[in-house]
Amino acid sequence: MKDHRELYNAAVTEGRSPLDPLFLLLTLIFVAGYILISVIILAVCRYRAREAKLKIISQSLLLSLFSLFAWFVIVTILLQTEILTSRNAMIYYFIGYLLWSVVLRHLIGKHNIMPDYRKLFHILFKSAPTAIFLLDRKGSIIEMNPRANQWFEGIPVQQITSHFQCDDGPGFNEILALYVQGKDKAANMEIRMNNPDPNQGHMDLMMGFELIDGVNEQLFVMHLTDVTSLKDTERKLLESERGYKHLAHHDLLTDLYNRTAIREHLELKTAGNDWFALALIDLDNFKQVNDTYGHHVGDLYLRHIADTIKFGAKPGDLLGRIGGDEFVLIVPCSEQSEVNALINDRLSLLSETSFPHEATEIPISFSVGVSVYPRDTTDVTKLIKYADEAMYKVKRSGKNGSLIYSRI
C-alpha cells in the first residue's frame, strides 16, 4: 500500500521515529504478539507444573518478558514525545534486549534448563550489528563479538580501550572506577577510536555502558555503535554554518568586516563607553584605475589597499570595507590622545607605497575623515556622518589628506 520511502524515512536521524506511524504500530503489535504468545506458553507451563522449582522458573521468565515489553513501550513513548532521538532510542532498544538476554542466560545457567537457549544467545551475540564487549571489574576484555573483531582487527585485545578518546568528561578508566565504586550505573557517551593503522582512519562511536549484577560474577557490558557518517555530516554542517556566518560579516573581495559587522562592533564599543577614533578612508581617483586597467586590476588594487592597511593596524584596531572604494578604521584612543598622529601612524605605510602591476606602479591616493567617540557624539549614525563630512572636506580641498571632524 505504501512505498518503502514512506514506511521508513532514512533522513530522520533525530527527534521522532523514522518509521511511518502505521508501520511503527504494526511493529509494536508484532512484538507484543510475540511476547503475548510466549507469556501464554509460560503461563500454561506454570499452571501444569507440579514442582515448585518449575513454577519459580516460569514465574521468573514471565517477569523478565513483562519487563522487556514494558521497556520497549517506555522507550517508544519517549521516542514519539521526542524526549529521545531516533539514534539514542535504537541504543536503548538494544540495551533492553541485551539485558533481557543476559538475564535469560543467567536463568538458564542457574537452573540448567533449555540448554539450547545458550546457542540462541551466542547467535544473537555474534550476529549483532554493533560491537559488544564483556569486561571484568578491572576493565579487561573477556569476550567480544565478531563485529568488534572486524572493527579492531590488528589491535591487541587488551590495548583496544587505550585507543578510545573521550572529548569531554572522565576517561575510560575513570568511568570504570566510578562503576566499581557504585557511583554510577549507566553511561552513554560519544568517543573517537583512533586506529593506529593510517589506512583505517578514525571511527566516531556511541558507547553504551552497563554494569551487570545478578550473575555469578560482576561484568561490564560495553556496546559500540558506529556513528562516523553522522558525525562527519554534523561536522560539515557546523563548518557550513561557520562559513555562512563569516560571509554574513565579511566582505567577499577583501575579507575585511562589512558594513553590518562594523556597525555591530560600533554598537558594542559605544555600550562599553570606550574612547575610539573612527576613520573613513575613501580612495582618490579609483574610477580612473578601473577605466584604465580594467575591473580585474581594480579588484587587485582594492585587495592591496586592504592588506596594506591591515598590515599597519595594531592589536585592538578594527578594519572594514563599507563601500566600493571606502574603508573604515576604528582605533582605540583616550581623551588625551593625539588622534591625528594615531591615524597617520596606521596609514603611513599606505601613504608611502604604490600598487605594482606588471611594469607599472599605480599610485595610491586617499582622503580620510575622522570623528571621535564620545567627544563628537555618542550616536553611531552621527559618528559615521561626522567622519564622512570631514572626509568630503578633504576631497573638496584637493584630496590626499586627512581631517579631524570639528563643529567649527
The pTM (predicted TM-score) of the whole model is: 0.48
> Residues of CATH 3.30.450.20 domain(s) within the chain?
129-247
Note the CATH number of domain 129-247: 3.30.450.20
Is the per-residue pLDDT at 398 higher than 60? Answer: yes
Query: Could you tell me which residue, 321 or 166, shows the higher pLDDT?
Result: 321
User: pLDDT tens for residues 200-244?
Assistant: 667 788 877 776 665 556 677 788 888 878 777 877 888 877 778
The letter for the amino acid at 236 is K
Is the per-residue pLDDT at 21 higher than 80? Answer: no
Split at pLDDT 50, 70, 90, the class of 371 is: very high
Mean pLDDT within 345-372: 90
User: Could you give the CA distance from residue 366 to residue 301 in angstroms, rounded to a whole number?
Assistant: 13
Q: What is the DSSP letter of 238?
A: H
Mean pLDDT within 379-397: 92
**pLDDT at residue 318, as a whole number:** 92
Is the per-residue pLDDT at 198 higher than 80? Answer: no
User: pLDDT tens for residues 250-299?
Assistant: 888 998 999 989 999 998 888 888 899 999 999 998 999 999 999 999 99
Split at pLDDT 50, 70, 90, the class of 386 is: very high
| Residue positions counted in the chain | 408
User: Could you give the CA distance from residue 408 to residue 405 in angstroms, rounded to a whole number?
Assistant: 9
Homologous superfamily of 250-404: Reverse transcriptase/Diguanylate cyclase domain (3.30.70.270)
User: pLDDT tens for residues 106-127?
Assistant: 776 676 555 454 566 677 777 7
User: pLDDT tens for residues 158-197?
Assistant: 777 777 776 665 567 776 666 566 655 445 677 777 666 6
User: pLDDT tens for residues 122-146?
Assistant: 777 777 778 888 887 777 888 888 8
**pLDDT at residue 142, as a whole number:** 81
**pLDDT at residue 26, as a whole number:** 81
**pLDDT at residue 115, as a whole number:** 47
Residue linked to cell 565478531: 146
The letter for the amino acid at 384 is I
Split at pLDDT 50, 70, 90, the class of 394 is: very high
User: Could you give the CA distance from residue 189 to residue 206 in angstroms, rounded to a whole number?
Assistant: 6
| Joined grid coordinates for residue 145 | 563479538
User: Could you give the CA distance from residue 231 to residue 202 in angstroms, rounded to a whole number?
Assistant: 11
> Residues of CATH 3.30.70.270 domain(s) within the chain?
250-404
Q: What's 11-69 look like in SS3?
A: CCCCCCCCECHHHHHHHHHHHHHHHHHHHHHHHHHHHHCCCHHHHHHHHHHHHHHHHHH
Q: How many CB atoms lie within 10 A of CB 73?
A: 13
| Joined grid coordinates for residue 182 | 557504585
Q: Are strands 326-332 and 360-362 parallel, antiparallel or unpaired?
A: unpaired
Average of per-residue pLDDT values in the chain = 81
Contacts of 340 (CB under 8 A, 6+ apart): 370, 402, 404
Is the per-residue pLDDT at 43 higher than 70? Answer: yes
Which residue, 91, 161, 173, is CA-closest to 133? 161
